[in-house]
Structure 1
């Protein structure tokens, strides 16, 4: 995934079950978001993203 992201530079990378865990990281022009998981607490984790014509606006990680 990292090599493809570095090569193609999409505006956004959304990731789920990745063992590096929850977080937001920028790879070049790409914002990579993994909302994480919380199986042991039975909590749903997610992300709300504002999309714009020229890329990504704001984002917020959510839990509930």
Structure 2
């Protein structure tokens, strides 16, 4: 459980930080530095989240009272 929390927290923090860099870069006119860097940070966060979801086990096919 602790590893799952760290992985999800890291990916969400990277996505949030990257989006903030994108927004601030557009606001401040730093489209050459902040915008590409923020985009890369967001993509890394999404990649970590995707890798985590891909490793989750398949759900059971048992019906739970349905």
TM-score range, shorter chain: under 0.3
Higher helix share: 2
The structure with higher relative contact order (CA 8 Å, sep 6+) is 2
Which structure has the larger Rg?
2
TM-score by length of 2: 0.26
Higher strand share: 1
